[in-house]
């Protein structure tokens, strides 16, 4: 009688058995998450899910190649059997069982039963309690990939804005062990080193405690560093500590907290948040207590750079992700020393800069006459940006104040970014006909965002400022100041640039553009939420004027340009309201641009979803297990303007959709699993399905991802997945079943 011995390797995975099996059966993706194993059907036309008893597969384990036969392939177990005739026969099992330790998780067991002559003779020498190290390595890799997929599901279903209140996530951790793990990863994905009087007084102990946790270090993907108290610089700083920090660059507690960046091996993005209140090289009018000085800003950057260099040195010996994204919020408009700027930007491919400008306390002083305001924008154009043109795929340039025309000039001349895909401009003012040409020259752009950008229509200047600021007035028409101010002390100019022309040029000269946004958010809010899709619209303030006599900022709304003590707002001699006069033309060009980019968006996003689609397969299987519920009836019909839209939305007297149903009538549905699947499977035109909204995909910008399901005949309340549907967010937000999604 032949002898049989068994060896096994077991691991707990915080993902459902269906998700783990889905990842396991994606043989074609093995090389993306582990090394050494390769499995493929002998019949290349068969999918892993289609394998059945008797089918042959080709297996390679760290160079050892054999061709076993499939024994079972069901939701609980995948088994093959191979043999060397008369010597040894092995039956290898991969089992996916619900975990008893972690409800909702999986106990994954890899085992093999050996029999045959070799085992009979030498079986007593086999150590059954010590499985092959390669098995353990595979199990660990499978665990990491399955849990990553499940975490990614949460990213789609619960998208997080930066600095969003996350109390709901904290409460969600209490549901069960599985939810605790999933939500913890989402909760600590973005870490912030908060800088307040309280945290600084405690030597940033809360940050140190947080980063000392292995769970947090593993989950962190981005870090934001607050360099000083944002709201109250006067009372939010301890004087003695800040005196040493400003003068000597000494603050052990803060620099030690910054150094923790080196211990966060998985972050790929870092944001440094300075105060918007700065002071130039020439200190004006008294105390510096309400300003963050140039010296402390540079001290912070030096310590961040030291931490990044230490972290980069670890890449040779450990798995450390390269930091490719850098956001500098309220960067002072002074050129950084080269020993800081060059190494800081060396490996960055996504650069976001919002610079701040000096403000005088004296109500009678002009902010525009600070030398930094005149010198910084040319430095940005001619020195800083040229050093990174060949490495950037995304660039954001913004400010707390209007910029681009005067007192400093930024026309982008000579700037070419050969790999740039996304460009964002904030508070940028166009005052010359060719000033926007540098944007139109970036032919690789697929995304262009403009936030609070303007065209200057009227300018009132001193003659000395035109010379001192070296302003080119060839695109401007000089007119008498008398109609506006009643005297000729200043020089008044008009610029005939129009948004209609800008929109048409964008549409015609950026052929790859698939996303265009025109928004009007507050500078800081916009800068911190660059990845959040918001609606575009034409503001009545899109044309702006410049009056040098105004303080503190000379950039004012068109209605405020001029002095009319005896005339009302309807007086025809007042400045023309260009936004009103040009409404028809600007709107026509704006809508044409939006219409032109929408088809490109859909085409490009569909190409991207094909590549990313396989990641959504676990989403279907998670929903199969009852983690989602929806309400509604089958009222989805095909329409020409979109693939699938909801027909017949109406509201009852309570304000609810009449076509929707109460939770009492419809509970969580049963979804019959058929994964792994092809999420790009197309539905037939006119096919009636229910759409379950999986989430608004931040990756895919203005598209939503929906699970399309159909009722199963003769099974009350059961549904079958028939495909993944991409649709426009605005359609899905009208109502109906696709807009009713909850976690249960």
Q: Is the pLDDT of residue 417 over 90?
A: yes
Q: Is the pLDDT of residue 394 over 90?
A: yes
Between 717 and 197, the higher pLDDT residue = 197
End-to-end CA distance of the chain: 54
pLDDT at 273: 92
pLDDT at 375: 85
Going from N- to C-terminal start, the domains of the chain cover: 4-148, 613-743
> In what helix (H) or strand (E) does residue 555 lie, and over which residues does it extend?
strand 555-557
Mean pLDDT across the stretch 488-507? 89
Mean pLDDT across the stretch 320-332? 90
Dump pLDDT digits (tens) for 337-382. Answer: 898 889 999 889 999 999 988 776 554 445 677 778 888 889 999 9
Dump pLDDT digits (tens) for 241-290. Answer: 788 888 888 889 999 999 999 999 889 899 999 988 877 776 555 556 67
pLDDT at 235: 63
Between 665 and 183, the higher pLDDT residue = 183
Mean pLDDT across the stretch 156-184? 50
Q: Is the pLDDT of residue 309 over 70?
A: yes
Classify the C-alpha dihedral 534-539-545-551 as positive or negative: negative
Lowest mean pLDDT, pick from 78-82, 208-212, 328-332, 572-576? 572-576
Q: Is the pLDDT of residue 86 over 70?
A: no
Q: Are 23 and 16 in contact (CB under 8 A)?
A: no
pLDDT at 28: 85
Of the candidates 321, 306, 367, 742, which has an alpha carbon nearest to the alpha carbon of residue 553?
Answer: 367
Structure-token pair, residue 97: 């069982």
Per-residue confidence band for 697, with pLDDT thresholds at 50, 70 and 90: very low
Report, at the CATH architecture level, how domain 4-148 is classified: 2-Layer Sandwich (3.30)
Q: Which of 442-446, 548-552, 735-739 is most confident?
A: 442-446
Dump pLDDT digits (tens) for 8-39. Answer: 899 998 888 888 888 899 898 888 888 889 99
Of the candidates 647, 631, 456, which has an alpha carbon nearest to the alpha carbon of residue 558?
Answer: 456
Which residues have a Cβ under 8 Å from the Cβ of 654 and sit 6 or more positions away? none
CA distance linking residue 647 with residue 632, whole number of Å = 12
Per-residue confidence band for 728, with pLDDT thresholds at 50, 70 and 90: very low
Q: Is the pLDDT of residue 518 over 80?
A: yes
CA distance linking residue 327 with residue 336, whole number of Å = 15
Dump pLDDT digits (tens) for 616-630. Answer: 333 333 333 322 322
Structure-token pair, residue 592: 């044409």
Q: Is the pLDDT of residue 204 over 70?
A: yes
pLDDT at 722: 53
Q: Angle at Cα 707 formed by Cα 704 and Cα 708, nearest 5°?
A: 115
pLDDT at 593: 92
Mean pLDDT across the stretch 431-445? 93
Structure-token pair, residue 579: 């936004």
Which residues have a Cβ under 8 Å from the Cβ of 191 and sit 6 or more positions away? 210, 211, 216, 220, 222, 223, 224, 264
Q: Is the pLDDT of residue 720 over 60?
A: no
pLDDT at 122: 47
Q: Are 644 and 727 in contact (CB under 8 A)?
A: yes
pLDDT at 721: 52
Between 443 and 599, the higher pLDDT residue = 443
pLDDT at 303: 93
Which residues have a Cβ under 8 Å from the Cβ of 529 and sit 6 or more positions away? 161, 162, 521
Torsion of CA 398, 401, 402, 407, to 10 degrees: -110
């Amino acid at each position: 009688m032949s002898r049989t011995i068994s060896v096994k390797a077991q691991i707990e995975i915080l993902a459902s058995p269906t998700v783990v099996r889905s990842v396991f059966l994606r043989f074609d993706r093995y090389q993306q998450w582990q090394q050494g194993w390769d499995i493929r059907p002998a019949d290349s036309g068969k999918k892993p899910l289609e394998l059945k008893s008797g089918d042959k597969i080709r297996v390679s384990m760290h160079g050892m190649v054999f061709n076993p036969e499939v024994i079972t392939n069901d939701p609980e177990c995948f088994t093959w059997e191979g043999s060397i005739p008369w010597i040894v026969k092995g039956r290898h099992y991969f089992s996916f069982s619900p975990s008893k330790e972690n409800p909702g998780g999986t106990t994954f067991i890899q085992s093999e039963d050996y029999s045959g002559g070799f085992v009979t003779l030498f079986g007593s020498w086999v150590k059954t309690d010590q499985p092959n190290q390669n098995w353990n390595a595979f199990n660990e890799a499978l665990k990491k990939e399955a849990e990553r997929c499940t975490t990614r599901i949460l990213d789609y279903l619960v998208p997080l804005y930066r600095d969003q209140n996350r109390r709901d996530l904290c409460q969600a951790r209490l549901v069960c062990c599985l939810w605790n793990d999933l939500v913890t990863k989402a909760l600590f994905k973005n870490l912030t080193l908060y800088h307040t009087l309280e945290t600084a007084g405690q030597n940033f102990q809360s940050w140190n405690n947080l980063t000392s946790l292995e769970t947090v270090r593993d989950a962190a993907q981005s870090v934001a560093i607050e360099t000083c108290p944002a709201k109250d610089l006067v009372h939010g700083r301890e004087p003695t500590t800040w005196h040493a920090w400003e003068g000597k660059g000494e603050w052990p507690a803060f620099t030690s907290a910054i150094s923790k960046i080196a211990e966060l091996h998985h972050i790929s993005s870092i944001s440094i948040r300075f105060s918007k209140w700065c002071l130039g090289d020439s200190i004006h009018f008294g105390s510096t207590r309400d300003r963050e000085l140039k010296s402390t800003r540079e001290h912070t950057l030096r310590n961040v750079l030291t931490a990044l260099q230490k972290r980069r040195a670890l890449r040779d010996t450990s798995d450390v992700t390269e930091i490719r994204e850098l956001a500098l919020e309220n960067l002072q408009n002074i050129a950084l020393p080269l020993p800081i700027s060059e190494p800081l930007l060396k490996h960055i491919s996504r650069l976001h800069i919002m610079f701040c400008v000096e403000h005088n306390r004296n109500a009678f002083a002009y902010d525009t006459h600070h030398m930094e305001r005149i010198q910084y924008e040319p430095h940005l154009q001619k020195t800083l940006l040229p050093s990174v043109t060949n490495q950037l795929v995304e660039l954001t340039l913004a400010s707390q104040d209007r910029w681009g025309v005067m007192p400093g000039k930024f026309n982008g001349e000579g700037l070419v970014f050969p790999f740039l895909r996304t460009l964002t401009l904030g508070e940028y003012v166009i005052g010359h006909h060719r000033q926007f040409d540098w944007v139109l020259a970036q032919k690789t752009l697929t995304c262009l965002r403009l936030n609070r950008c303007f065209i200057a229509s009227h300018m009132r200047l001193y003659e000395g400022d035109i010379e001192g600021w070296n302003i080119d007035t060839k695109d401007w028409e000089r007119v008498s100041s008398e109609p506006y101010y009643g005297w000729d002390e200043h020089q008044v100019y008009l610029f005939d640039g129009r948004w209609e022309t800008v929109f048409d040029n964008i549409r015609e000269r950026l052929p790859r553009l698939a996303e265009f946004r025109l928004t009007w958010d507050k500078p800081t809010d916009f800068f911190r939420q660059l990845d959040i899709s918001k609606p575009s619209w034409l503001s009545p303030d899109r044309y702006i004027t410049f009056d040098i006599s105004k303080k503190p900022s000379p950039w004012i709304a068109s209605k405020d340009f001029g002095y009319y003590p005896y005339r009302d707002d309807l007086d025809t001699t007042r400045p023309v309201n260009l936004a009103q006069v040009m409404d028809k033309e600007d709107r026509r060009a704006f809508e044409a641009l939006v219409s032109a980019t929408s088809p490109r968006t859909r085409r490009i996003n569909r190409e991207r979803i094909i590549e990313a689609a396989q990641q959504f397969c676990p989403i279907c299987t998670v929903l199969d297990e009852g983690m989602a519920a929806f309400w509604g009836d089958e009222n989805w019909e095909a329409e020409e303007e979109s693939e699938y839209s909801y027909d017949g939305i109406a509201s009852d007297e309570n304000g609810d959709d009449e076509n929707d149903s109460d939770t009492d009538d419809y509970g969580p549905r049963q979804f019959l699993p058929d994964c792994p699947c092809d999420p790009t499977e197309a539905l037939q035109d006119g096919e009636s399905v229910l759409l379950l909204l999986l989430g608004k995909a931040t990756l895919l910008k203005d598209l939503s991802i929906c699970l399309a399901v159909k009722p199963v005949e003769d099974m009350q309340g059961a549904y079958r997945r028939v495909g993944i549907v991409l649709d426009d967010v605005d359609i899905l937000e009208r109502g109906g079943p696709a807009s009713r999604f909850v976690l249960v």
